[in-house]
Amino acid sequence: MPSPIFFAHANGFPSATYGKLFDALRPDYPLHYLEQHAHDPRFPVDDNWGGLVDELLHHLEALDQPVWGVGHSLGGVLHYHAALRRPQLYRGVVMLDSPVLTLADRLVIRAAKRFGFIDRITPAGRTLGRREAFDDAAQARLYFAGKGLFRRFDPECLDAYVEHGLAPSDKGLRLKFDPATEISIYRSVPHLSPGRPQQLQVPLAVVRGRHSRVVLPHHARSVQRIPRGEYLTLPGGHMFPLERPAQTADLLRSLFQRWESHSDAEKEPA
């Protein structure tokens, strides 16, 4: 029985949005995920996302075997921090366009929080005042299709976001992911980590979208400090898992098979 995947989504994108990616992986791997991170009152959003990591660990501990942790953006950082705290819960971690921050990055974030310009260096500023309500699904799809963030989405992934990212309301449809929660996540982006990169005890791959403005070339330095760290690239931008879900699944499958083979070789007697 292969080790399961536990997927963690990007901020604002419920897990069902990634249905096409999940469908490509399910023939080979059991798949687990939370529908929405940061919406359980037992684990509120706090500075440096400690409570969100606690939420993830709570669900990992309920499983009967270690997982391949896969996370997009927010989700990748949560898995990285969780693996530093509880490596025994993991076989390996893949961060899909999630940075392993350098010391300089973390100092800038800490200053931005302290001096009040965090909204200018995270998407929080662009999220404020964003449209939340729509008359129907057709109106919502037309709206999102015209936004730069969604412009290169696989059509099925865009349909999935409209279907699963909105919920019925008194006047039509409204965003399911609470906008205030989304903004608070951006404003509390970690400037602290539960450990240093070189302390990570499991394999980790950072996969950057080639045109990403979130994971940048200098972040490779942090990955190089991880004993079994890899820095890879796929076509697309920050949202490449929803732009190229089949290609993302192929890369994940290849990574897990290679890591599995390496693990088996280490267990063989000399």
Residue with tokens 């931005």: 112
pLDDT band at 128 (very low <50, low <70, confident <90, very high): confident
- DSSP class of residue 2 equals P
CA 267 to chain centre: 31
How do residues 247-261 score in pLDDT, each as one tens digit? 999 999 999 999 999
pLDDT of residue 264: 67
Using DSSP's 3-state secondary structure scheme, residue 231 falls into strand
How do residues 162-192 score in pLDDT, each as one tens digit? 999 999 999 899 999 999 999 999 999 999 9
Handedness of CA 99, 101, 104, 105 (dihedral sign): positive
How many residues are listed for the chain in this entry?
A: 270
Using DSSP's 3-state secondary structure scheme, residue 114 falls into helix
| Statement: residue 91 has pLDDT above 60 | yes
Q: What is the CATH number of the domain that holds 250?
A: 3.40.50.1820
| Statement: residue 17 has pLDDT above 60 | yes
Sheet with 133-134, edge to edge strand ranges: 133-134, 172-175, 166-169
How do residues 61-76 score in pLDDT, each as one tens digit? 999 999 999 999 999 9
Q: Which residue has the higher pLDDT, 199 or 265?
A: 199
Burial (Cβ within 10 Å: 0-12, 13-18, ≥19) of residue 21:
buried
| Total count of domains within the chain | 1
Determine how many CB atoms are found less than 10 A away from the CB of residue 270.
2
Range of the domain at 95: 5-267
pLDDT of residue 1: 81
Percentage above 70 pLDDT, the chain: 98
Say if pTM beats, i.e. exceeds, 0.85.
yes
pLDDT of residue 126: 81
pLDDT band at 265 (very low <50, low <70, confident <90, very high): low
Cα–Cα dist 237/207, whole Å: 11
> Per DSSP, which regions of 97-165 are E strands?
133-134
Using DSSP's 3-state secondary structure scheme, residue 173 falls into strand
CA 240 to chain centre: 12
pLDDT band at 270 (very low <50, low <70, confident <90, very high): low
Q: Encoding tokens for residue 83?
A: 């693996």
Q: What angle do CA 89, 92, 94 make, to 5 degrees?
A: 120
| Statement: residue 209 has pLDDT above 80 | yes
